[in-house]
Homo-oligomer: A and B are copies of this chain.
């Protein structure tokens, strides 16, 4: 009999199905609760088939992580289309990052775990390279906004700072703020009084002032800018977030 060959798109759809199921399990039971047995139990495939797609559990985690970073990149690319000053665009990117982390708390956690050496070391070379490419895509968006700020004269860098360093400072700040205020992390008494949206905007403004990026915090109505983000860029996401936090 002629050996059956499964076409690419079926394979791809199944991979997507496996990842979606794994994500659901992690949302319910945490990363530690993810088990290949449980994935198999929820799908019409056998263990062996899962292992045809992912070489090991960690490879599956890296796959999920990449899927999430891809969604973030798409959101960033939408953010920088905002019709406003370069500093507003930069803030839009930070806001997009925050929205994504709120809408997908499990995925945000996952990206952190997937960077852990124990996960990374076991993942496929292929999926690791894919991850680097995706991160570079993220940074590309930031660098575009930084160049346009420099070109327009709104951003006046101190001489010792490169555009890449500026991008990195913004990334560090956003990541740190979101990670520490992430709902799935412990709250200490100081953190409980913090609201993620408010603090992220505060931190961004402090940093952008420190970078010498005009208009400065006092010279612009940033609350109005945020309102425009919500309407013009992220209407769908904001609605999802409201639906999610509203009690049934």
Contacts and interface: CB of A to CB of B under 8 A. Distances in A.
Contacts of A186: 115, 120, 128, 131-132, 135
A32 B117 CA distance: 9
Contact of A188 (B113, B120, B136, B169): B136
Contact of A168 (B113, B115, B184, B190): B190
A232 interface: no
Interface string A76-89: 00000000000000
A22 to B, nearest CB: 15
Interface in A168-191: 168-169, 171-177, 179-180, 184-186, 188-191
Contacts of A180: 168, 171-172, 175
Contact of A179 (B113, B128, B179, B209): B179
A124 to B, nearest CB: 14
Given A206-B169, A207-B207, A210-B210, A116 B113 contact: yes
B218 A173 contact: no
Q: Nearest 5 pairs between A and B by C-beta?
A: A176-B176, A210-B210, A30-B118, A32-B118, A172-B176
